[in-house]
Chains A and B, each alone.
Chain A
Amino acid sequence: MYKILKKELLSPNVWLYDIEAPRIAKKTQPGQFLIIRTDEEGERIPLTIADFDRDKGYISIVFQEVGAGTQVLGQLNEGDSILDVVAPLGKKTHIEKDMGTVVCIGGGIGVAPVYPIARGMHQAGNKVISIMGAKNKDILILEKEMRAVSDEVMVTTDDGSYGIKGFVTNALQQIIDRGEKIDEVIAIGPVVMMRSVVEATRPYKIKTVVSLNPIMVDGTGMCGGCRVQIGEEIKFACVDGPEFDGHMVDFKGLMSRQRMYKDKEKTESDHVCNLTKVKEAL
């Protein structure tokens, strides 16, 4: 059992949990993920590790309530426990000294997993330019944290309510246009956003790393449910990734596979919704 030490609402339906897990905190590296199962009937949900504190022995997750699994998770409170936490999983982000200028792009709650990467890049002495994208000002998360680990931060909102009006790719283009030499771009967020970033950097041959989020079950390489086409090869995102060279990723295939259980998710969500009502009635 893994105790929730802190629960914080970052934006509507988006939660940050600090979870007590000293050993996991000790071993986690930026870019890695975990799998949680809230209770006996729950499914295994992959979430990127948004932060870790080795001294205090906790890890953080940031998640949005989108389906049944995350709805159940969102109902837990400080002091409650999560049944299963498996981590750290996947390969760590490639971070070293003298990589040069790194642009870290987070879209929506993708800012959360980008945060430890930006921090790692910054601590290693690289120049970090961060781009944070959100639909509007109210749902922007972790701005203060990102500013603390970046040399420069650009914020974009779809509706122009804060920062640059438009998408993260608009900000990226500004950086390219001003003649900044970019050595690497890391983008994490919705698949359509990552695909746009990859298409934006492709003509300039800028190395672009994306973190993929296919459907997973075990997260340890034993089922291949998370397989993605990378160039000519089939890779398992849970063990070979989750980060891949964005210019090699078959995004169309990824998006198609993500839709596999859409109808089942609805059934499941209704089921959880009904259960919640029963609980409240009691």
Chain B
Amino acid sequence: MALVMKKYTMPEQDPAIRAHNFEEVALGYDEETAIAEASRCLNCQKPRCVQGCPVQIDIPGFIAKMKTGDFSDAIEVIKGSNSLPAVCGRVCPQENQCEKYCVMGIKGEPVGIGRLERFAADYDLNEQQKGAPVQCASDAKKVAIVGSGPAGLSAAGELAKKGYKVTIFEALHKAGGVLSYGIPEFRLPKEKIVQVEIDDLKKLGVEIRLNTVIGKLYTVDELMQEEDFGAVFVATGAGLPSFMHIPGENLNGVYSANEFLTRCNLMKAYKFPQYHTPLKVGGTVAVIGGGNVAMDAARTSLRLGADHVYIVYRRSEKELPARLEEVHHAKDEGIDFRLLNNPVEIIGSDDGNVKSLHCIKMELGEPDSSGRRRPVPVAGSEFDLPVETVIVAIGQGPNPLVQSTTPDMLTNKRGNIIADEETGATTKEGVFAGGDIVTGAATVILAMGAGKKAAQAIDKYLKDKG
């Protein structure tokens, strides 16, 4: 049988239509196409794809099941390693992970591993296999998890399967972290996907306590001493927005991407006034930055009715940190990329609203410490971009709430928690950390990988302690 060199196409909503709704853009394979795509897998003796997956899913194993249409078996294989497959199949940058190593990718396109994972997970969710909630032993040891984002959820799943009584403490009124407040509905449906996968975890006996800010309502020490938790896993993410520190940043119409996306995704401002949280988007919007968060904010602006949306990024297209697929989606929807441009000031009108973004053109110089060519301003190239809304998406730092109330858990100079790469152990006994709070802003699946490793280390720590 001749090899199929290209991935089977996954249907998508028409760009002209989807740019005005919040429905999911990528529609997923049907059964027939999923089986056909799975059949492209060569079932390598030494599968390289697995080493590219941060949680080491048995990829050839689950794909083999899919080839014969045994989707329920396929998802069981995936769930052995990954508690949020419907999420990961959608948001992982597979081109830099599993699919990067696929042998098929050498001469053609790699197997669509992410799409297949997504198909199997969705199939499973639709089957509604409602198992009875697991009751853990009454003398089970208690583990506290701070933060219900990908790292926390992944650690919770692993620990619950090992028989621990797991409690997740979440500051917001909804679990999921960036899956709930950050990644938009059109990439990751909230009720249909995120909430269902989180409810699956609850069936494993995991308790989620919402509206609970650790560092305020409880300190880590109080959790261990007063509430009897044998170990704590800190997974509070990178939620502190960075601003540019240029003049005009406090004008009305300037948002951090975190605020903009939280209002839209978590508070459902796109359904205003049925939902009461407002969100203002002017006619022309500039989003500063080139990562996934910037793409999400730009595409969200468009759906909220902006006339024109710019991405303003100081490097060139090659350096855009966003997922390739998302950059394509953004372009198809009509986002206007202004590359090699750097904002120097936000100009306001007399009434305190944004009027324009003052930028300077950049050119690429010598590579910097990150290996990327450093953008250098072009003298005399300043210009005004008239806009009414500015969304700052230049990165996030660690929120200091937990660290500042846990003095014996040390942080580095950027404020990230210092933790062992393999175990997540911090400098404080019994306290582990993982995900963006340790590494700085990264990906969902890397956070999940860190959560999984920490869970294994916590299991060992508690067993050794007896």
Interface residues, chain A, with chain B CB atoms under 8 Å away: 23-24, 27, 37, 41-44, 68-69, 72, 83-89, 217-218, 220-225, 227-229, 234, 239, 250, 253, 256-257, 259-261, 264-265, 267-268, 270-272
Contact = CB atoms under 8 A, between A and B. Distances in A.
Contact of A260 (B240, B252, B399, B400): B252
27 contacts: A24-B217, A42-B276, A68-B273, A68-B276, A72-B276, A84-B211, A88-B217, A89-B216, A217-B262, A218-B172, A218-B262, A220-B213, A220-B239, A221-B401, A222-B240, A225-B256, A227-B250, A228-B250, A234-B243, A234-B245, A234-B249, A259-B352, A260-B253, A264-B272, A264-B280, A268-B276, A270-B273
Given A88-B217, A217-B262, A218-B171, A223 B272 contact: no
Contacts of A264: 272, 278, 280
Contacts of B276: 41-43, 68-69, 72, 268, 271-272
Nearest to A83: B173
Interface in B203-258: 210-213, 216-218, 239-241, 243, 245, 249-253, 255-256, 258
A224 B267 contact: no
Contacts of A271: 273-274, 276
A220 B399 contact: yes
B58 to A, nearest CB: 36
B23 interface: no
Interface in B378-429: 399-401
Contact of A223 (B210, B256, B268, B351): B256
A68 B278 CA distance: 11
Interface in B265-313: 267-268, 272-278, 280
A265 B171 CA distance: 26
Contacts of B268: 41
B396 to A, nearest CB: 8
The 6 nearest A-B residue pairs measured at CB: A264-B278, A223-B259, A256-B352, A222-B239, A271-B273, A43-B277
A223 B241 contact: yes
Contacts of A228: 250
A72 B273 CA distance: 14
B263 interface: yes
Given A84-B173, A218-B172, A44 B239 contact: no
A268 B276 CA distance: 6
A268 B171 contact: no
Contact of A221 (B239, B243, B272, B273): B239
Contact of B272 (A44, A83, A218, A268): A268
Contacts of B249: 234
Given A84-B211, A222-B258, 18 more contacts: A23-B217, A27-B217, A41-B274, A41-B275, A44-B173, A68-B273, A86-B212, A217-B267, A218-B172, A221-B399, A223-B241, A224-B256, A234-B245, A250-B250, A257-B250, A267-B272, A270-B273, A271-B276
A86 B213 contact: yes
Contacts of A260: 252-253, 280
B210 A88 contact: no
Contacts of A223: 241, 256, 258-259, 262
Contacts of B212: 86
Which of B216, B239, B275 lies at the interface centre, i.e. has the most chain A CB atoms within 10 A of its CB?
Answer: B216
B252 A217 contact: no
Given A84-B211, A86-B211, A224 B259 contact: yes
A217 B259 contact: yes
Contacts of A268: 272-273, 276, 278
Nearest to B260: A223
B272 A84 contact: no
A73 to B, nearest CB: 11
Given A220-B171, A224-B259, A253-B250, A88 B216 contact: yes
A72 to B, nearest CB: 8
A87 B258 contact: no
A224 B239 CA distance: 10
Contact of B250 (A41, A86, A234): A234
Which of A224, A227, A272 lies at the interface centre, i.e. has the most chain B CB atoms within 10 A of its CB?
Answer: A224
Contacts of B216: 27, 87-89
Given A68-B276, A223-B241, A224-B243, A37 B173 contact: yes
Contacts of A220: 171-172, 213, 239, 399, 401
A237 to B, nearest CB: 12
A42 B276 CA distance: 5
B267 A44 contact: yes
A120 B218 CA distance: 22
Nearest to B241: A224
Nearest to A45: B276
A228 B249 CA distance: 10
Nearest to A223: B259
Interface string B98-137: 0000000000000000000000000000000000000000
Nearest to A24: B217
Nearest to A72: B276
Contacts of A37: 173
